[in-house]
Amino acid sequence: MADPAATQGAAPDRLLAEAAGRFGTPAYVYSTDLVEARLAHLRAHLGRWFAISFAVKSNPNPALLSWMRDRLDHLDISSGGEFGLAMQAGWEAGRISFTGPAKQAAELRPAIAGGLGELVLESLREAELADAIAGELGLVQPVLVRIAPARVPKGFGDQMAGRPSPFGVDVEDAAEILPRIAALPHLRIIGLHIYSGTQCLRPEAICENWRIFMQVFSEICEALALTPQKLVFGAGLGIPYHPGDSELDLAAIAAGIGPELDAFAGRFPATRLELELGRYLVGPAGWFVTRVVSVKQSRGTRIAICDGGLNANLAASGNFGMVLRRNYVMHRVGGDEDGARPEQKQDISGPLCTSIDKLGGGVALPRLEVGDLLAIHACGAYGPTASPIHFISHPVPRELLATGGQLRDVSRLGKD
């Protein structure tokens, strides 16, 4: 199975230019062909052990979720609004799990009443609330309990355990809290869930993290005399965003942890192991396309000012959890025109009246001029819904879905 980095090849400039010409800019272009290639790559290396769940928060576009319906095993939502989007996209409620640390009655009630597959409990408070709602509805709700391990290996871009965290039940408190959840009459614990770190590009760190998961799962199941139906491994699989980043080596992960997964699966023969992931599948399958509307020289620096900035793409601006700002990989659509556009370092700014609206600093690109198109890579996850699209009231970016080279407008935001 070819590595998805290789299957991507050169960025599809014809498609990106067509997208900008037909639908305008700024715009996101998502390629289902690339998502399919990444899914096949994932299953070729890890499908022996894991079913696949997609985290809707990474890209909740209903057309994309609908396309995924017959290709993925499971969907994970993090709000009542995402539950509605999943149902709109045609997903069966029984194939959906619901995570999130601050669930409220107004979103739990319709999800539980609608036949939610699994409620992922993050606290005792939440368990008691869900139990009361399920009791009112005359139901018993299947639940997974999310556990926060005591440590997360180095190498993860964001850590959600190993320190004070709003996510899950701290493993130190599990012995006291889980029996209380198990005693609630309208909930049924069917398994456990861990998602402790994300955006990791180091196979050895992924393997170490999953070893922690297996130890925690084994100890808790033994203590509760629980035969789990499902154990969810928060994947943590990262993607290359920046120049010099390398695609995560799934073969190395499989080789490094495979024998231990075999042994673990042997101890839980009736249990479904599931990977929950988001950006790994869709991130590299998307581009953000923006047009240069002005160019200026300022104190020795050439600045290209575009029609889309942090308002449309907060992550690429470095303001979505990035500690030290680094440029995303980007290119001029059309390249250097056979050398007619000499490469030089340029700053890339957006249209907003704030100094933090910067998409790139000192980026080596063919000399940009007014009217040029710029494509920023790895923008298929945490795009428009993770951005302040209404700040300064510029046009909302379009969302376009490309399948087999054919484009269609699947925009949802800004239409109300």
Q: How far is the C-alpha of 277 from the C-alpha of 118, rounded, in Å?
A: 17
pLDDT tens-digit readout, 20-71: 999 999 999 999 999 999 999 999 999 999 999 999 999 999 999 999 999 9
Among 223, 244, 277, which residue terminates a domain? 277
Q: How far is the C-alpha of 197 from the C-alpha of 321, rounded, in Å?
A: 13
What is residue 158's predicted lDDT score, i.e. its pLDDT? 79
Q: Are residues 292 and 232 in the same domain?
A: no
Q: Are residues 272 and 292 in the same domain?
A: no
Question: Which structural domain range is residue 347 located in?
Answer: 284-409
Asked whether residue 46 is domain-assigned, the answer is no
What is residue 413's predicted lDDT score, i.e. its pLDDT? 83
What is residue 10's predicted lDDT score, i.e. its pLDDT? 47
What is residue 3's predicted lDDT score, i.e. its pLDDT? 57
pLDDT tens-digit readout, 201-223: 999 999 999 999 999 999 999 99
**Structural domains in the chain (count):** 2
The 8-class DSSP code of residue 379 comes to -
Q: Which residues of the chain have pLDDT under 70?
A: 1-11, 160, 162, 323, 415-416
Tell me the CATH number at 197.
3.20.20.10
Tell me the CATH number at 362.
2.40.37.10
Distances (CA, A) of 37 to 1, 3, 7, 235: 9, 9, 7, 18
Q: How far is the C-alpha of 199 from the C-alpha of 160, rounded, in Å?
A: 12
Residues with Cβ within 8 Å of residue 189, at least 6 apart in sequence: 143, 144, 145, 178, 181, 182, 224, 226
Q: Are residues 228 and 289 in the same domain?
A: no
Q: Are residues 268 and 330 in the same domain?
A: no
Q: Are residues 315 and 194 in the same domain?
A: no
Q: Are residues 130 and 260 in the same domain?
A: yes
Asked whether residue 2 is domain-assigned, the answer is no
Q: Are residues 330 and 307 in the same domain?
A: yes
Asked whether residue 113 is domain-assigned, the answer is yes
Asked whether residue 159 is domain-assigned, the answer is yes
Among 277, 295, 319, which residue terminates a domain? 277
Q: Are residues 376 and 354 in the same domain?
A: yes
Q: How far is the C-alpha of 176 from the C-alpha of 341, rounded, in Å?
A: 66
Among 277, 299, 321, which residue terminates a domain? 277
Asked whether residue 52 is domain-assigned, the answer is no
Asked whether residue 45 is domain-assigned, the answer is no
What is residue 264's predicted lDDT score, i.e. its pLDDT? 98
Q: Record the tokens describing residue 158, joined without a space.
A: 């964001």
Asked whether residue 67 is domain-assigned, the answer is no
What is residue 156's predicted lDDT score, i.e. its pLDDT? 86
Q: Are residues 267 and 289 in the same domain?
A: no
Asked whether residue 157 is domain-assigned, the answer is yes
Distances (CA, A) of 238 to 11, 163, 278: 20, 21, 10
What is residue 382's predicted lDDT score, i.e. its pLDDT? 97
Q: Are residues 264 and 121 in the same domain?
A: yes
